Amino acid sequence: AQSVTQLDSHVSVSEGTPVLLRCNYSSSYSPSLFWYVQHPNKGLQLLLKYTSAATLVKGINGFEAEFKKSETSFHLTKPSAHMSDAAEYFCVVSSGGTSYGKLTFGQGTILTVHP
Amino acid sequence: GAGVSQSPSNKVTEKGKDVELRCDPISGHTALYWYRQSLGQGLEFLIYFQGNSAPDKSGLPSDRFSAERTGGSVSTLTIQRTQQEDSAVYLCASSPSGTAYEQYFGPGTRLTVT
């Protein structure tokens, strides 16, 4: 079985300040982990992915995430928020075994960026 | 190149009617997935296709839901005797293989059951 917990349903930051979106996962197998972003009335877009290579993963638009197996975490960060980063972010896990090919989504974190 | 497309973009139907939702995956992608996004339930997996077969149907919520894929390409999700709780955005995704790497999502079909 696999699951994802996003620790904050809403995060609010000022433009130019750092962003931290927290995610913990549970998986019976070696997981693949993803962050997806969904802007209002838009489709889901892949930000970055971890698939057992480097534990620090860099994605698009300056985002990065670090896989920490000991903490079962995969937090998303960005050094400086931009107004265009306002969106909903989903942490996602996929495992092998019987769940092969199936993504399990967290509940989402809505990021608000203030001028 | 063309991404995943879904049709219709919006569908309003009366309770008890059947609906068909269509997904055109990225050309050459062998894996295809259906998800549902609704308030209170978040994003839920429905079904996974590898080619024309469906190794994992575990997310289909009831026997009113079915899906098929023909020619290893287009997929149709059918909901029979729709209920108000079926109202949601139905998302389709495709992937180059069944490894769940980089699923590419379509824009979704917003279904409203009145």
Contact across the interface for B43 and A105, Cβ inside 8 Å: yes
- Which is nearest to A103 in space by CA: B45, B77, B89, B26? B45
Contact across the interface for B107 and A43, Cβ inside 8 Å: yes
Residue of A nearest to B109 (CA): A43
Distance CA A83, CA A17 (A): 11
Q: Residue A68 above 80 pLDDT?
A: yes
pLDDT of A83: 96
Residue B55 identity (one-letter amino acid): P
Across chain B, what does the average pLDDT equal? Answer: 91
Q: If residue B80 lies in a helix (H) or strand (E), which one and from where to where?
A: none
B59 touches chain A (CB under 8 A): yes
Count CB neighbours of A101 within 10 A.
23
- Which chain A residues have a beta carbon less than 8 Å from that of B50? 101
Contact across the interface for A100 and B95, Cβ inside 8 Å: no
pLDDT of A111: 98
Rounded to an integer, the average pLDDT of B14-25 is 97
B102 touches chain A (CB under 8 A): yes
pLDDT of B102: 79
B108 touches chain A (CB under 8 A): yes
Q: Which of B31, B35, B43 sits opposite A101 (nearest CB)?
A: B31
B38 touches chain A (CB under 8 A): no
Q: Which of B42, B58, B59 sits opposite A107 (nearest CB)?
A: B42
Distance CA A3, CA A108 (A): 13
Strand B10-13 to B109-113 pairing: parallel
Q: Which of A32, A103, A106 sits opposite B45 (nearest CB)?
A: A103
- Which chain B residues have a beta carbon less than 8 Å from that of A101? 31, 33, 48, 50, 55-56, 95, 98-100
Q: Which of A49, A105, A108 sits opposite B102 (nearest CB)?
A: A49
Question: Which two tokens mark A36?
Answer: 């997806």
Rounded to an integer, the average pLDDT of B11-25 is 97
Higher pLDDT, A30 or B62: B62
B66-96 residue pLDDT tens: 999 988 899 999 999 999 999 999 999 998 8
Q: Is A4 helix (H, G, I), strand (E, B) or coil?
A: strand
pLDDT of A101: 67
Distance CA B26, CA B37 (A): 21
